[in-house]
Chains A and B, each alone.
Chain A
Amino acid sequence: MTKAKTFGGGIHPRYNKERTLNLPIVDAVVPKELVFPLSQHIGAPCQPLVKVGERVLKGQKIADSDAPISAPIHSSVSGQVVAIEKRPHCSGQDTMAIVVSNDGLDEEAVPASTGTSIENVPADEIVRIVREAGIVGMGGAGFPTHYKMVPPAGTKVEMVVLNGAECEPYLTADYRLMMEESEQVVLGLRLLMKALGADKGCIGVEEDKSEAIAALKQAREAFPDIEVIPLQVKYPQGSEFMLIRAITGKELPVGRLPAELGVIVNNVATAVAVANAVTTGKPLVERVVTVSGSMVERPQNLRVRLGTPVGALLEQCGLKGQPGKVIKGGPMMGVTLANLDVPVIKTTCGLLALSPEEAEPLEISPCIRCGRCVDVCPMRLQPVFIAQFVERGMLEQAEAYNATDCRECGCCSYICPARRPLVQNIRLAKSAILAKRRK
């Protein structure tokens, strides 16, 4: 057997996945009130299609946008719209949201047996279904999937890659999906391949998830054009750049589209959503969320209705005490939450409650120029220099050292023995440089 594929650089964080790895997905409690932010994706926010007081059904489209890069939003329960107002959002700012009071009936907007099969659905119809179902990149990026399914003129997508790396510590939601719904993963991949006219499909999975690899291999048995590719266990293997590098051997320059290399990448959870949308006709109204962290009493993989406040999930799983930090996503790239009324949205793949000790601010000491940040940077940047330029206000220099190539994976800050805020400073540089360019 050949060595598992990978990329240069990267780190081996403590994975902490064992708490939830072998726990089957179970349904989360459905709360009395659900909040649907009008922005759950990259691109234009949606406009409400419903009014306060109106009754909505489960799966009913309640917000949409004419903008090309956007995705509609559906109610995940039946009930009544009780407010359309600013509510806390995981971005840290209050944003416009539709608030639905759940009537507990789960009355469906889409009649049963509305779906179709891969044989009967034409390519452009798949794209339309995916758009109407409100599917976005569910690995955390939230880029509208339908937009990626129409590659720019002049490019031909030969390969669809599914990202099953799930390299963030703690998270096991994708792993459980690959285990429990491997048929849907493969069907979703075939639908994406059909829509794009791609000849080849690949599913990249970290090699230690051997059971998921076995399940997927069995599910793709009948489809010789689909390959399951074991990847080395390393963070950030699930970054689009690193996944393309590992699987195709090609490096995608920042600012270029994967389609220019003949590839598009989607998360395995996104593929499952695509398969479900086509076969059942139902839109994206729920997703799997790993709830974990040292302060969580019963870590679980929960199937959660979109719009559920994260506080309800923590309550369901139980807290051992006052957490020091609550994180949406994984510990490497996730964002801290100040307000637990923030709802689960399409990009919420994990919810972590860390202890006060784990949340202690780090003691920063002087840089000893060890170069570990340079060694681990998967984009081959020199984080130490860029961060120093930022500290001294030398933006042009930071730009000359390709600060804008940074994908913010955080390997540099993770590895730094002096605990310097490297990626944090590079983020500052990026936003300042991009702001300047826009002028």
Chain B
Amino acid sequence: MEQSKLRMSSSPHQHARENTSRIMLEVLMALVPAATLAVFFFGLRALGLMLVAVVAAVATEALLQKLSGRPVTIRDYSAAVTGLLVAFGVPAGLPLWIVAIGAAIAIAIGKQVFGGLGNNPFNPALVGRAVLLASWPAQMTTWVAPFTFLTSATPLGGGARPAYSTLFLGAVPGSLGETSALALLVGGLYLIWRGIIDWRIPVGFVGTVAVFSAVFGGDPLFHVLAGSLLLGAFFMATDPVTSPMTSWGRLIMGVGCGLITAIIRLWGGYPEGVTYAILIMNAFTPLIDRYVRPVRFGAARK
């Protein structure tokens, strides 16, 4: 044996198997049920939108990292997650080039200008969605009905109120990945079970919307099942980079998102408020992390 080949390092010498790419891969896996149902309801158009968005996001990330001379990190799958989430938030009839621009903007303006993964203050996918909503408001709100592709309004946007079971399964007009509560719950619960996301954010978010809308005369079950709420609560507000780092902080994040969403839905000018609610709470995340801190060990009791 050669002693010179012994490596010296500071403990610990053992590490968890889970790494960043594994976490992102798990999120992608959790999105599979909703993606599958999107293809089922909206056909190959949905598949096309998702593929284009993922390719655009990953290509943008690689290109910008190459241009700025930084290591290319597309293998951490975070750009793929962002691309897919952008596609989940658009109507099935949207031209492919628009979703490509949305995904590229999500990565370029939402993430890479801040220095890449871990440094962005706002959820990149929601930045992309907000830009698309402002730039192509007509196309972004032209919804089509499942199977028939006939233009129709979403349930939240004043369209027909479907039965709860239809709403739960997701056979309603809406954004690609948002319509099926069932698929999102399956994916979201999987992420909680695997310890990838903290239950406090979705529970705080969804619970607050339900309670708030019930108190002010809305139909809580309808408000929970309709719109972007479940996608936002399980997959967007839980983005580790843009949500707080302590348990209490995460609960505040969830409740805050729920309050803003409910206020926009009930009294705002838009039918849906999840996107802006999460973006606003993203802005508060550094503040929450600054003030909501764990109690020092030994300080709790005498």
Q: Show the binding face of A for B, using Cβ within 8 Å.
A: 11, 13-14, 92, 169, 241, 250-254, 256, 314, 319, 322-327, 331-340, 352, 354, 356, 358-359, 361-362, 365-371, 374-375, 377-382, 384, 402, 405, 408, 410, 413-419, 421, 423-424, 427
The answer to whether B13 touches A250 (Cβ under 8 A) is: no
Give, as a whole number of angstroms, the nearest-CB distance from B112 to chain A: 12
Smallest CB separation, B59 vs chain A (Å): 20
Q: Is the CB of B20 within 8 A of A368?
A: yes
* Known pairs A336-B13, A367-B118, A371-B245; A323 contacts B6 (CB<8 A): yes
Q: From A332, which residue of chain B is reached at the shortest CB distance?
A: B12
The reply to whether B19 and A369 form a contact with Cβ atoms under 8 Å apart is no
Q: Does B134 contact A (CB under 8 A)?
A: no
Contact string against A for B residues 4-33, beta-carbon threshold 8 Å, 1 for contact and 0 otherwise: 011111111111101110110000000000
A sample of 26 inter-chain contacts (CB < 8 A) reads A252-B298, A253-B298, A314-B1, A324-B5, A325-B9, A331-B14, A332-B14, A336-B7, A365-B73, A365-B76, A365-B117, A368-B23, A369-B241, A369-B242, A369-B245, A371-B246, A380-B296, A380-B297, A384-B245, A413-B15, A417-B16, A417-B19, A417-B22, A418-B20, A423-B10, A423-B12
Contact of B245 (CB < 8 Å), options: A314, A324, A374, A378: A374
Given known A-B contacts A250-B301, A254-B297, A338 and B6 have beta carbons under 8 A apart: yes
Instruction: Name the A residues within 8 Å of B296 (CB-CB).
Output: 253, 380, 402, 405
- Output the residue of A322, A371, A382 with the most chain B CB within 10 A: A371
A352 nearest CB neighbor, chain B only = B13
Residue of A whose beta carbon sits closest to that of B296? A402
Q: Are A414 and B7 in contact (CB under 8 A)?
A: no
Residue B215 at the chain A interface, CB threshold 8 Å: no
A327 x B301 contact (CB < 8 A): no
Bound together, the chains give a CA A354 to CA B119 distance in angstroms of: 35
A392 to B90, CA, bound (A): 41
New contact pairs (12) apart from A332-B11, A336-B8, CB-CB < 8 Å: A11-B16, A253-B298, A323-B6, A325-B9, A333-B12, A359-B9, A369-B118, A378-B297, A414-B12, A416-B16, A417-B22, A419-B15
Q: What CA separation (Å) do A67 and B294 show in the bound complex? A: 40
B163 at the interface (CB under 8 A from A): no
- Bin the interface of chain B by size: 35 or more
B293 at the interface (CB under 8 A from A): yes
Given contacts A331-B13, A413-B15, A417-B18, contact A368 B240 (CB under 8 A): yes
Residue of A nearest to B295 (CB): A380
- Determine whether B3 belongs to the interface, using a CB cutoff of 8 Å to chain A: yes
Q: A11-B16, A252-B298, A366-B117 are in contact. Are A338 and B8 (CB under 8 A)?
A: yes
Shortest distance between the CB of A416 and any CB in chain B (Å): 8
Contacts of B11 in A (CB 8 A): 331-335, 408, 410, 423
0/1 interface trace, chain B 266-302, chain A, CB 8 Å (1 if under): 0000000000000000000000000001111111110
- B151 CB to closest chain A CB, in angstroms? 40
Bound-complex Cα distance A416 to B245 (A)? 13
Choose among B12, B23, B76, B117 the residue with the greatest number of A CB atoms under 10 Å from its CB. Answer: B12
- Are the C-beta atoms of A417 and B23 separated by less than 8 Å? yes
Q: What A residues does B1 contact at CB under 8 A? A: 314, 319, 322-323, 340
Closest Cβ of chain A to B286, distance in Å, is: 10
Q: Is B244's CB within 8 Å of the partner chain A?
A: yes
Taking CB atoms, residues of chain A closer than 8 Å to B5 are 322, 324, 356
A413 touches which of B12, B18, B76 (Cβ 8 Å): B12
In the complex, per-residue mask of B74-92: 1 if CB is within 8 Å of any chain A CB, else 0: 0010100000000000000
For the complex, what is the distance from the CA of A414 to the CA of B297, rounded to whole Å? 20
Report the minimal beta-carbon distance from B17 to chain A, rounded to whole angstroms. Answer: 9
Cα distance, A424 to B11, chains bound together (Å): 8
Q: How far is the CA of A215 from the CA of B86 in the complex (A)?
A: 60
Residue contact A325 to B297, C-beta cutoff 8 Å: no
Distance, CA A354 to CA B240, complexed state (A): 33
- Report the minimum CB–CB distance from B43 to chain A (whole Å): 35
Which B residues from 240 to 258 make CB contacts under 8 A with A?
240-247, 250
Contact across chains for B297 and A340 when beta carbons are under 8 A apart: no
Residues in A whose Cβ lies below 8 Å from that of B220: none
Expressed in whole angstroms, the minimum distance between the Cβ of A344 and any Cβ of chain B is 17
Residues of A within 8 A of B245 (CB): 369-371, 374, 382, 384
Q: Select B20's contact among A377, A405, A415, A417, beta carbons within 8 Å.
A: A417
